[in-house]
Amino acid sequence: MLQTAIPEISLIIGDRETLNNLHKSMQVYVRELFEGGYELAYVEKRLRIGKVHQRIGVSPKLYLSGINQLQLLLEDIIDKNAEENGMDIKELKRMLQGNIN
């Protein structure tokens, strides 16, 4: 489903350019998530992003729904790659769960 098909989300996202910027930001977020290094700078960045979400009106319901979708997508990708490569991914999933939630 397209994010912009939901009126509440469409009001926040606004236009195609904003949606493209969000996609780029999510790519950076996922990369940083898997790079590790969850020091103070990482936490401060997450807090700044949370403040922006609050300022522009992203409700907790929308945020959690988006995070849930991201988690399902990442778990699906991880499962497929792990299966193909014979990897045990329990620890990776634990890390993902702890960081996303």
Per DSSP, the three-state class of 36 is coil
Q: In this structure, are residues 6 and 12 in contact, taking their beta carbons and an 8 Å threshold?
A: no
Q: What angle do CA 58, 61, 65 make, to 5 degrees?
A: 100
Look up the pTM and report it.
Answer: 0.71
Domains contained in the chain, number: 1
Q: What is the pLDDT of residue 76?
A: 86
CB 74 within 8 A of CB 52: no
Q: Quick one: pLDDT at residue 1?
A: 45
Query: What's the domain range around 56?
Result: 3-100
Q: From the first residue on, what is the mean pLDDT of each consecutive set of 10 residues in the chain (101 residues)? A: 73 86 91 86 93 92 87 84 71 68 54
Cα 55 from Cα 10, distance rounded (Å): 16
Tokens representing residue 3 in the block: 């994010």
